[in-house]
Chains A and B, each alone.
With several copies, the nearest count.
Chain A
């Protein structure tokens, strides 16, 4: 029997296991010890590990990031939690000017083992300031590692890897992924940086989806099946470093690529993936397209918000058009009951 956990349960299990085996691991952030416990992911930790290891912070994202870095320099392994990724915009100075650079600018004399958990919001009127997904800003910066897992299995494995890693790690979670359930082994395990995961095999088109967009890709795959298009779905999992080879191999096979960013596209992960493939001289007949957020702040009203984000139908439609451009008219079957995506594993 496979053990099934939800995404937040997987996150919490990773933290509990690491905190149990290593007293240097601490958790800090606004609300980590409160009754809601960061959507459950830190709930009860303070009772288990005490308020010196699990503590609420003042509303001071820049300062508290520096505090986490300082604690890391002294040998602790802080996990700094932000319930909205948007709040990282207050912490860029410490993350980029310090955490990412300290080891290099001190010639290797120090290291900064810390994890920054950043949750991306979506829907229910989150709006312009509570919905941002700004991983491209961090991908540009050398010295940071970035995970954005989509499955409960990877959530646990990546987080454990991140906690054990001796460098600053950004761990990106999407709220809607919190509904995902899937196989998660009981024991401790790690998922490596720099290794993408093929979530579904296919031969006609490669869909690379980042964070929650990979779920939309999996749904799109169901729509596409109906018209016998067989999509291969890739989750990069690790955004820095990025595993371009897995994507390359897939594209060499399918000759068609769509990257669906969970962010604005300009200077985004999609752009980077495309550029790396081109530099690797992929065959001339490969067709490529990027999708992502509309190039505006996120509006609150659902009437507009639903058009702000790519979704499974739009992905399916674009894929269809890439294969059969102009040949016949098709719309994804709005009646089709897309079964809830659940990750069976093992991976």
Chain B
């Protein structure tokens, strides 16, 4: 195996394994009621966040959705603070006020996730406007589900980004469903990326979830930006959510989708694929380090305190 690929595979595996294991642990703990807000697991979709974020630089910024654990972690968001946030503790990344759907790590460029579908799209675009205005060469990545594409805000934001040639990468995680509603029951055609092209930007689709392709697409974009060729781009990644929309369980019994449909994606699990590219000792080293980190993070959350009552009234306004 070529050395470059090997280095990447190791990086990817580390990030991907960490996210998968964190979410599996969340799923395991969830029924104990220690986690205090609804969780939308990204299990099965993590490779998109990892592939994109591994190509980013520290000063690049990401915005995510309520299904944002993977985005947050892939971009380097603090794990302890994330788990504490899920536990509703004052040590959480949002001091316990946000929960699973409102993760943030400003120092790492994770500018927040939102529970209202589509709301972070224009925020990403506005943030990228400021970057361009300041002649920064940083970019913004806007992660969305294909459901967000239905919203008017998507159209308005993509149009403005194209108009102003802004440094923003839209990443659409098209897992085919918005809750239980299939993409084709909300849209006549399966061609999001083609529609986006008509706004005046490069837009492509990667339909096999290949983490290397996702990484490469992002890297190429960054290279282009560094050369001063500033335009937005759009990447549609076909993917699949393994768990139910919200919560830790499987939901194939509900009947809105079939296990068969999932099969391709489970076979094609990027985590398994990456592991197969690594020497066993390398992967097990990664695994044990990550397992320990996760154990510590949950202990940190357990031991942290709930916020004091007076915190109810803080953080409404700055400077007050």
Contact = CB atoms under 8 A, between A and B. Distances in A.
Do the two chains touch directly in the complex (Cβ atoms below 8 Å apart)? Answer: yes
Interface of A: 26, 30-31, 34-36, 52-53, 56-76, 78, 86-87, 90, 93-94, 97-98, 102-111, 113, 124-130, 142-143, 145, 165-167, 294-297, 299-304, 307-308
Contacts of A308: 312
A30 to B, nearest CB: 7
Given A107-B315, A301-B89, A304-B309, A102 B112 contact: yes
A93 B119 contact: yes
B181 A34 contact: yes
A129 B115 contact: yes
Nearest to A298: B97
A60 B156 contact: yes
A72 B317 CA distance: 14
A286 B310 CA distance: 32
- Chain B interface size, as a band, is 35 or more
Given A59-B147, A102-B112, A127 B99 contact: yes
B126 A71 contact: yes
Contact of B156 (A26, A62, A86): A62
B150 A106 contact: no
A127 B115 contact: yes
B30 to A, nearest CB: 11
Given A60-B150, A73-B126, A300 B37 contact: yes
Contacts, number: 261
B56 to A, nearest CB: 16
A70 B130 contact: yes
25 contacts: A30-B178, A57-B186, A58-B163, A60-B152, A62-B153, A63-B156, A63-B159, A66-B122, A69-B123, A73-B126, A73-B127, A76-B130, A109-B93, A125-B100, A126-B38, A127-B99, A127-B101, A128-B97, A128-B102, A129-B114, A167-B319, A294-B313, A299-B96, A300-B101, A304-B312
B220 interface: no
Name the residue among A67, A73, A110, A127 with the largest chain B CB count within 10 angstroms: A67
A295 B314 CA distance: 11
A74 B159 contact: no
**When A and B form their complex, which 3 residue pairs have the shortest distance between CB atoms, in order from nearest?**
A70-B126, A66-B122, A63-B156
Contacts of B127: 70-71, 73-74
B264 interface: no
B122 A94 contact: yes
Contacts of A113: 318
Given A31-B181, A301-B99, A107 B93 contact: yes
Contacts of A98: 114, 116, 119, 123
A78, A90, A126 — most chain B CB neighbours (10 Å)? A90
A259 to B, nearest CB: 22
A296 B118 CA distance: 23
B111 to A, nearest CB: 6
B157 interface: yes
Contacts of B186: 56-59
Nearest to B61: A74
B288 interface: no
A252 to B, nearest CB: 28
A103 B314 CA distance: 10
Interface string B78-99: 0000000000110011111111
A34 B94 contact: no
A61 B318 CA distance: 25
B98 A87 contact: no
B131 A74 contact: yes
Nearest to B147: A59
B38 A66 contact: no
Contact of B94 (A87, A109, A167, A296): A109
B196 interface: no
B24 to A, nearest CB: 20
A66 B121 contact: yes
Given A60-B159, A299-B97, 18 more contacts: A36-B180, A57-B186, A62-B152, A66-B153, A67-B122, A70-B127, A71-B129, A75-B130, A78-B126, A93-B119, A106-B104, A106-B112, A125-B37, A129-B115, A167-B317, A294-B312, A301-B306, A304-B96
Given A31-B179, A36-B180, A69-B122, A60 B160 contact: yes
Which of A90, A93, A102, A304 neighbours the largest number of chain B CB atoms within 10 Å of its CB? A304
A31 B180 CA distance: 7
Interface in B274-320: 306-309, 311-319
B178 A300 contact: no
B124 interface: yes
Contacts of B95: 107-108
Nearest to A294: B312
A318 B317 CA distance: 28
Contact of B307 (A58, A165, A304): A304
A122 to B, nearest CB: 13
B255 interface: yes
A296 B316 contact: yes
Which of A126, A142, A296: most chain B Cβ within 10 A? Answer: A296
A293 B101 CA distance: 21
B189 interface: no
Contacts of B115: 127-130
Contacts of A303: 88, 96, 306-309
Nearest to B159: A58
A107 B152 contact: no
A110 B104 contact: yes
Nearest to A53: B133
B125 interface: yes
